[in-house]
Structure 1
Amino acid sequence: MKDRVLGFNKENHLFQPGDTLFLAVSGGPDSLAMLHFFAGIREEWELDLIVLTIDHQLRGIQSAEDTEFVEEYSSNLGIKCEVGKVDVKKLMSEAKMGTQEAARELRYQFFYEKMQNYPSGKLVFAHHGDDQVETTLMQLIKGQYPNGTPVKRAFGSHMIIRPFLSLSKKEILDYVEEHELNPRIDPSNEDESYTRNRMRSTVIPLLHKENPNLVEGVQRVHEFLSEDDAYLYQISEDKVREISTFCEQKVTFSINSFQKMPLSLQRRGFHLILNYLKVNALFRNNNFLAFSEWLQSQHSNSVMTLFDDVIAIKAYDTCIIQLGSIHTEPFQRSLHMNQSLELPNHWTVSVRESNEWSGSTDQAVVSFDQLHLQFPLKVRTRQDGDRIKPLGLNGTKKVKDIFIDHKIPLYQRDQWPLLVNGDGEVLWIPFVCKSRLAQPDKHSSVWVSMDIK
């Protein structure tokens, strides 16, 4: 077994002499064999080993006994052991998660916290070849891309590695027996209410009968797919970065440019954006098709909830995927002469007396004859029935129609400020439209200038 694991390690560049390895150990056969294996090569490879074990508090005293067993076994080997204790049921209730999902989330949080003081540390899992087969088949059954379990992947600034993927379950059990290890047995692994357990007990044995080299074959296919996937992801990332603007909480891109990409690149680009926004990988798999259909729909302005804390906004040719939701509380503020006012959308409007009229066509600046104004002015969000007398046009026009004509995104319209005279007449839609009062006449003498930033 040693030769198999070290050969696999050499091929995939997983660990090297002098590394700090965090071993995720539950006390079961697989992880106990992994702990015993690395303890055996520790001196030869000059490895710094730290065991991480966690009590999920799902099996009462048995869970606590498992962690005590791992802690004692690690101590006998002279290896440091960090023990965590998490409340899975509490997270299930608060976040509406399933048992496995909540346990995984808390487990990874614990691992992440313990590794922070070791910048080059690597997290080692004992997943084996049969796990790879199970994961691949389960993905196919669910209609997901069969990318299986990666041999290694980024984990924040660290790496997760799986050097036992080269081994079958039988090889691990033979190793356990050969070295007279006495692992803990989790009875939930026999519970066939879990899909993975049913696969393990019924489907996988049949596949092994059909192909004794099942593990090697599936791992080889996984490697082929991973190589192809990495290439396509790189192309997708290059394309997405060409057409997108990345900010801390959101990513904005051209819908037309995105849809010109092949569908396989669109799918990967979607996942890359979610990865950038640090969306939990567990939630990503089943949303691309719905997102793609929504993006192609005829609605030029709409919002789609991707996950509880992630939304997609479509505004004509622009799509924004962002964390959080849209808050559109109406507001109204009074504005007096020689005052600057910061608005809820973070714009600042200023008003001051002036000796001359600003004839600028800049929609961020406007001037009015003071005789036409009734202070205090109002700065507020739009209301039903709002109309304006546009400069250069006869009659009035609905503010709603002006927003549409200028392709102001729907999600912005309810927060767009309007400057309103004291008598209720709309004077200015900043950056969009000025009223007919924003022009001089022969009686004008004192001007009021305004700008917005």
Structure 2
Amino acid sequence: MNDVVTSFIHKHQLLSPDATVLVAVSGGPDSLALLHFFKTIQRDWKLRVIALSVDHQLRGEESKEDLDYVEEICRKWDIEFVGTSIDVKGFKKKEQIGTQIAARKLRYAFFAEQMKFFHADYLAFGHHGDDQVETMVMRMVRMADSSSFSGIPVKREFAGGLIIRPFLCLTKDEIEQYCKENQIVARLDPSNESVDYTRNYFRKNVIPLLKEKNQNLHRTIQHLSESKEADERFLQSEAEKLFEEIVQIEENPVKALLQIDMFLTRASALQRRTFHLILNYLYSDDLPKDLSYVHEEQFFMLLNNEKGNVQIDFPRHLKVEKAYNKLIFYFHQDEKNEPFHEVLDVPGEVILPNGDKVSATYINEIPIQTNNTYICLEKDISLPFHIRNRKAGDRMRWNGLNGSKKLKDIFIDAKIPLQDRNSWPVVTDNNGDILWLVGLKKRDTIPKEEQSIYIQLNYEQGNV
């Protein structure tokens, strides 16, 4: 067995000489065999080996005895030992999370603390090939996202070092045989026998059937996991590049936007992964449990919907809206857009509810104009100006237009998202005539009269 594991270590570069290795030891056969293996190679590799053990306080005195037993084994084998007891039940209640999640968070917090304290290079776990098979089969049954269909990694970064799993090349039977040959007496957790736990159900009822067809199933699955991991690393890297290239992120409130035509030119595999990167960003990596492949299907249906303005609902009030060629992810705000109405004197300025600013000044010469400026003759309007959001039935006139046009239709022609229309600033004179739908339409062309008094309005976005 030692030769198989050593070969696996070299293949995956899991270890280096003169390193400090922390070994997670529960007292079961897998972790004790791993600790014993490191004891056998300790001198040749010039390793400092330290055993870490955690009492989760979930089985009363029995789990405390496991901790004491590991400490006794370490004393017998002359291996450094660090143990701790964690209050899983208290943490679970405080954080309102499941038992297994609470236990894992506290356990890994302890491991990270010890990695930093000892300046350790590696944290070794005793996961074996059968664990890998169980993990891959369970994920295949549960998940429809290929990027989530991954196994237990051979190594990954953790707390300034690496987590390594040298036993993924072995079966459970090979580890138990190793324990017998080396007279390693392990403690057994009775919960491992209960089929109430999903993993145990697969272990006892599903995996044996698969092994009848392939006795080397653990090697097959490990190869699949490694190949899949390599492919996924590449695709994920490309998706991250795509995310940086075409996804626009806004803050306060948080929002993600992308141009649909650009997005659809990319490979579907990258589209799907970029979609998940957006969700991870917006949900801060705390994805809702009720988020599923159904939402992914809805997302792609939305992309190809021919309608100009369509939206779908995701968990936790996340909205995904198609606004013509733009796709917008944003969290729905419970509060409605409150009506606003401000009076703008000349000279003067008004700060809008969203932080944008409209200012008014007298000018003697007409500078170059943009969509964010408006110029009129003082004698042609009734002061003061008024700035408000749109009202039902609002219509606007401008030079060259036969009659008037609804603001709603102007927004549609300009492909303005539904969510932005109610807060869009509308500038009127004191008689209520709409002079400027900011950034979109102006009632008047630029006047050209000598010896006249001009007024210029400027619009500035607050986040610029």
Indicate the TM-score class for this superposition, using the shorter chain for normalisation: 0.7 to 0.9
Offset of residue 231 of structure 1? 4.4
Q: Does 1:385 align with 2:398?
A: no
Q: Does 1:81 align with 2:82?
A: yes
Residue 261 of structure 1 aligns with which residue?
266
Residue 285 of structure 2 aligns with which residue?
279
Q: Does 1:414 align with 2:419?
A: no
Give SS of 2:416's match: coil
CA distance in 2, matches of 1:251, 1:140: 31
Offset of residue 203 of structure 1? 1.9
- Contact 1:391-1:433 within 8 A present in 2 as well: no
Give SS of 2:15's match: coil
Offset of residue 275 of structure 1? 5.5
Residue 289 of structure 1 aligns with which residue?
297
Residue 26 of structure 1 aligns with which residue?
26
- Contact 1:330-1:381 within 8 A present in 2 as well: no
Residue 201 of structure 2 aligns with which residue?
198
Shift of the 450–207 alpha-carbon distance from structure 1 to 2, 3 Å rule, reads same
Q: Does 1:449 align with 2:456?
A: yes
Residue 150 of structure 1 aligns with which residue?
153
CA distance in 2, matches of 1:108, 1:449: 62
- Contact 1:253-1:318 within 8 A present in 2 as well: yes
- What amino acid is the match of 1:150? P
Alignment of 1:14-413 (within 5 A): 14-49=14-49, 51-56=51-56, 58-63=58-63, 65-67=65-67, 70=70, 77-79=78-80, 81=82, 83=84, 85=86, 87=88, 91=92, 98-101=98-101, 103-105=103-105, 107-108=107-108, 111-112=111-112, 115=115, 121-144=121-144, 145=146, 146-155=149-158, 159-239=162-242, 241-245=244-248, 252-274=257-279, 279-280=285-286, 286=293, 287-308=295-316, 312-321=320-329, 329-330=337-338, 332=340, 334=342, 335-356=344-365, 360-370=368-378, 372-375=381-384, 377-390=385-398, 392-413=400-421
- Contact 1:71-1:83 within 8 A present in 2 as well: no
CA distance in 2, matches of 1:362, 1:374: 23
- What amino acid is the match of 2:459? I
What CA deviation, in whole Å up to 9, does each residue of 1:365-406 have, x standing for no partner? 11234452443x444443433333345434332222222211
More deviation, 137-146/241-250: 241-250
Offset of residue 308 of structure 1? 3.4
- Contact 1:84-1:110 within 8 A present in 2 as well: no
Offset of residue 131 of structure 1? 0.9
Give SS of 2:30's match: helix
- What amino acid is the match of 2:201? R
Give SS of 1:149's match: coil
Shift of the 281–331 alpha-carbon distance from structure 1 to 2, 3 Å rule, reads closer
Shift of the 429–143 alpha-carbon distance from structure 1 to 2, 3 Å rule, reads same
What CA deviation, in whole Å up to 9, does each residue of 1:298-332 have, x standing for no partner? 4443444545386544332233456x555764352
Shift of the 163–308 alpha-carbon distance from structure 1 to 2, 3 Å rule, reads farther
What CA deviation, in whole Å up to 9, does each residue of 1:344-379 have, x standing for no partner? 434332222333455x5411111234452443x444
- What amino acid is the match of 1:364? N
More deviation, 309-318/11-20: 309-318
Shift of the 427–59 alpha-carbon distance from structure 1 to 2, 3 Å rule, reads farther
Shift of the 313–33 alpha-carbon distance from structure 1 to 2, 3 Å rule, reads farther
Shift of the 297–89 alpha-carbon distance from structure 1 to 2, 3 Å rule, reads farther
Offset of residue 136 of structure 1? 1.5
- Contact 1:54-1:86 within 8 A present in 2 as well: no
- Contact 1:332-1:378 within 8 A present in 2 as well: no
Unaligned runs of 5+ in 2: none
Offset of residue 27 of structure 1? 3.5
- What amino acid is the match of 1:297? N
CA distance in 1, matches of 2:311, 2:83: 45
What CA deviation, in whole Å up to 9, does each residue of 1:273-303 have, x standing for no partner? 4556652579676353343233333444344
CA distance in 1, matches of 2:104, 2:338: 41
Offset of residue 10 of structure 1? 0.9
CA distance in 2, matches of 1:402, 1:260: 30
Shift of the 199–89 alpha-carbon distance from structure 1 to 2, 3 Å rule, reads farther
Shift of the 450–48 alpha-carbon distance from structure 1 to 2, 3 Å rule, reads farther
Residue 11 of structure 1 aligns with which residue?
11
- What amino acid is the match of 1:15? L
Select the structure of larger CA radius of gyration: 2
Offset of residue 239 of structure 1? 5.0
- What amino acid is the match of 1:218? I
The number of residue pairs the alignment matches comes to 448
CA distance in 1, matches of 2:160, 2:426: 47
Unaligned runs of 5+ in 1: none
Shift of the 357–223 alpha-carbon distance from structure 1 to 2, 3 Å rule, reads closer
Shift of the 23–425 alpha-carbon distance from structure 1 to 2, 3 Å rule, reads farther
CA distance in 1, matches of 2:173, 2:132: 14
Shift of the 112–351 alpha-carbon distance from structure 1 to 2, 3 Å rule, reads farther
CA distance in 2, matches of 1:261, 1:107: 41
CA distance in 1, matches of 2:45, 2:34: 15
CA distance in 2, matches of 1:106, 1:130: 26
Identity of aligned residues (%): 38
Q: Does 1:428 align with 2:429?
A: no
- Contact 1:330-1:380 within 8 A present in 2 as well: no
Offset of residue 204 of structure 1? 1.8
Shift of the 152–252 alpha-carbon distance from structure 1 to 2, 3 Å rule, reads farther
